[in-house]
Amino acid sequence: MAKSTSPLLHHSTAATATTAQMKQMLYRRSSSEKSHLYHQLLRKHYRWVLWLFLSVYLFLSSSTPSSFLPSPISRRALSQSRTSSSSSSSSSPSLKIYVYDLPPEFNRVWLSNPRCATHLFAAEVAFHEALIHSSVRAVNPLEADYFFVPVYVSCNFSTINGFPSLHHARPLLSSAVDLISRSFPFWNRSTGVDHIFVASHDYGACFHAMEDVAIADGIPEFLKNSILLQTFGMKSPHPCQEAEHVVIPPYISLGTNLWPAPEIAKRDIFVFFRGKMEVHPKNISGRFYSRKVRTEIWNRYSGNRRFYLRRHRFDGYQSEIARSVFCLCPLGWAPWSPRLVESVALGCVPVIIADGIRLPFPDAVPWPEISLTVAERDVASLESVLDRIAATNLSAIQRRLWDPSIRRALLFNPRGIVSGDASWNVLQALEAKLDRRSWRRRRRPRPRSSQSNLDWVRWA
Ligand SMILES: *[C@@H]1O[C@H](CO)[C@@H](O)[C@H](O)[C@H]1NC(C)=O
Ligand SMILES: *[C@@H]1O[C@H](CO)[C@@H](O)[C@H](O)[C@H]1NC(C)=O
Ligand SMILES: *[C@@H]1O[C@H](CO)[C@@H](O)[C@H](O)[C@H]1NC(C)=O
Ligand SMILES: *[C@@H]1O[C@H](CO)[C@@H](O)[C@H](O)[C@H]1NC(C)=O
């Protein structure tokens, strides 16, 4: 990162420094980050800065103003640099969130496996990281509107199948709640109402991939008063969303490749899907994977050359999405899937086949204008639906979809909150809840003597 000389806000220093020192550190950090960003922008756009300089010079030295007219491409670059600089000077939300500095076994320890920070449930890591580096973070818990409890529950990967084992989610969260309620006054004060957790699994805080087991287990009692950030969302009532919550996008890592802008990518695949597609769906005590939708898709279209369907994992599948016009997003065990975000990020029109799904950030992402929805029972008419769209309003959908602000809204930036990104949209949703709730406390004026307020920061 930055070759900054500013001290990093390490947890050990956070516990011992005074508020004033910490504020100064935060200030210095953010100003060094700003200058870093500024230099990055300058580096990225130096051609245009140079061009601008030359143009102004030419304009001033010659009396022919026509030499100043920018070519279309440089106009575009200029407007790009304008948007990126306006997004960094964000209209950041005014709320304050205190981030509990839990012992590392609740979070950091799991990062020894690099997959922990990049797999589809990794919003729990990304939002934590973004918050830590954000000005929204409250150094003094007395000034906080919310309290974030950073527990990474999906990083215990099974050595057999490589999937996250969720068995330990409940005990790990329970011991975190136990610890914060013993060591700080804030949990007991509100019974957890102003506390935030991430539950980015199939069925959110029900912590199970199978719907009937998830429903039977339910949301743990100790989480029911709190606010859950979850990828699971249904329009109809569901036992696994019966807690205050915000629907968030799954975490997507766009690899290290620099993808072409969606509008110039060559799209030679008409319909794309790669993923688990049981030919004989397992009837696990009456449950069918994907409610048989994926099987139906495979049976009907695997012989159709316009459908590029693959059942095996391939690390380069993002390049396939970037080559596709329509990307199928059928339900898996749960209605949501990482494909929703990957398709949007790479400019492929998502075809959502998951009845009743509630999608993330409807205020920021105009889902009905950028995606198609096909009912699970209508999979048989998929091809004619897509043909009709291709013949009528496909280019209108694509124009809307390729607006950079839409893909920004669904992606997390772990190194800090960027205006308009996924974490930023979470904050907007949390701020809206704050305004609606009666428990919003007037934020107290910053106390002068800081030492006494930090007593809780030292773990008992
Ligand atoms: C990880 O998951 C396995 C299987 O559920 C469990 O036995 C183990 O205790 C978990 N590890 C931790 C540290 O919780
Ligand atoms: C909060 O309540 C629990 C259960 O009643 C209690 O054990 C704990 O000590 C309380 N915490 C504080 C900080 O008083
Ligand atoms: C699936 O399993 C359930 C319960 O075990 C059973 O009643 C049902 O007949 C099975 N269905 C098929 C198609 O095998
Ligand atoms: C595309 O056209 C169909 C009807 O032909 C309409 O239902 C749908 O809303 C349109 N989508 C967009 C994004 O304009």
**258-300 pLDDT, tens digit each:** 788 888 899 999 999 999 887 666 766 667 889 899 999 999 9
Q: Which of 190, 119, 207, 103 is nearest to 151 (CA)?
A: 103
Q: Which residue has the higher pLDDT, 115 or 447?
A: 115
Note the pLDDT of residue 414. 86
Beta strands in 77-127 (DSSP E): 97-99
* CATH T-level topology, domain 269-409: Rossmann fold (3.40.50)
Mean pLDDT of the chain: 80
Quote the tokens at residue 259. 């993808």
Mutate to test the pocket of ligand 3, among 283, 285, 292, 295 (most ligand atoms within 8 A of CB): 283
224 alpha carbon – ligand 2 mean position (Å): 18
Note the pLDDT of residue 202. 92
CA 429 to chain centre: 13
Q: Assess whether the C-beta atom of 167 lies below 6 angstroms from ligand 1.
A: yes
Q: Which of 101, 104, 105 is nearest to 184 (CA)?
A: 101
Ligand 4 atom with least separation from CA of 369: 13
CA distance linking residue 226 with residue 204, whole number of Å? 13
407 alpha carbon – ligand 4 mean position (Å): 21
Note the pLDDT of residue 198. 98
Q: Assess whether the C-beta atom of 168 lies below 6 angstroms from ligand 1.
A: yes
Note the pLDDT of residue 365. 98
Q: Assess whether the C-beta atom of 392 lies below 6 angstroms from ligand 4.
A: yes
Which residue has the CA at smallest separation from atom 9 of ligand 1?
168
Mean pLDDT, rounded, for 143-160: 93
CA distance linking residue 216 with residue 441, whole number of Å? 36
298 alpha carbon – ligand 3 mean position (Å): 21
Which residue has the CA at smallest separation from atom 12 of ligand 3?
283
Residue type (1 letter), 273: F
pLDDT at position 398 over 60 = yes
240 alpha carbon – ligand 3 mean position (Å): 25
Residue type (1 letter), 368: P
Q: Which of 146, 149, 142 is nearest to 128 (CA)?
A: 149
Which residue has the CA at smallest separation from atom 7 of ligand 2?
182
Which residue has the CA at smallest separation from atom 2 of ligand 4?
393
pLDDT at position 458 over 70 = no
Domain ranges of the chain: 11-88, 97-251+413-457, 269-409
The most confident of 259-263, 387-391, 435-439, by mean pLDDT: 387-391
369 alpha carbon – ligand 4 mean position (Å): 8
Which residue has the CA at smallest separation from atom 3 of ligand 3?
286
| This prediction's pTM | 0.77
pLDDT at position 31 over 70 = no
Ligand 1 atom with least separation from CA of 168: 14
Ligand 3 atom with least separation from CA of 283: 1
Note the pLDDT of residue 206. 97
Let me know: does 318 contact 274? Beta carbons within 8 Å: no
What are the two backbone dihedrals, phi and then psi, of residue 147, each rounded to the nearest 5 degrees? -125, 125
Q: Assess whether the C-beta atom of 156 lies below 6 angstroms from ligand 1.
A: yes
Residues contacting residue 334 through CB under 8 Å, at least 6 positions apart: 202, 203, 209, 211, 231, 232
